Amino acid sequence: MEEELVDQVDAAAEVVVMELFAVMDVGTIAFNLPSPSPELNLVEAAAPFRSLSIYVAIADAQILASAKDQTPLARPSTHDLFVATLARLRCDVVAVRITNYDEGIFYGEIELMTPEGSMTMDSRVSDGVVIALRTGAPILCAEKVLNFFNP
């Protein structure tokens, strides 16, 4: 009886903090001179339509553009192989999330639903966005990140 009460108190003491996320759409992938790197521009899907610009490497910009335009490649990219592997393993991409920004670096993750349950993997944001575009999964951005860039 006493042990059961302790378990109940422990369970009640566990506080789950739900972080808020906004759904994002891919706006453009473009060079904005004089910047040496292309930018991935994401726009909030609903009002107030906040935006987020993320510098990416040229190769990443090319893959992002082909994924955004649904352009088939002559040979599968690494992202295509990853998506095909997930499908063969019966894993669905639930969402791609931008979770944090710290010292010039964006952090992301991919949430998967596997036959064994939910699983979250760390991901570069650019890779996550390509995978979201290839699978139709939503791209989500933490409110704290959007608020940092859209005061």
For the chain, the structural domain boundaries read: 18-149
Rounded Cα distance, 63 and 5, in Å: 55
pLDDT at 151: 87
Quick one: fold of 18-149?
A: Bifunctional nuclease domain (3.10.690)
Query: By mean pLDDT, which of 66-75, 115-124, 125-134 is the weakest?
Result: 66-75
Query: Confidence class of residue 15 from pLDDT cuts 50, 70 and 90?
Result: low
pLDDT at 123: 97
Asked whether 89 and 70 are in contact (CB, 8 A), the reply is: no
Residue 53, strand partner residues:
41
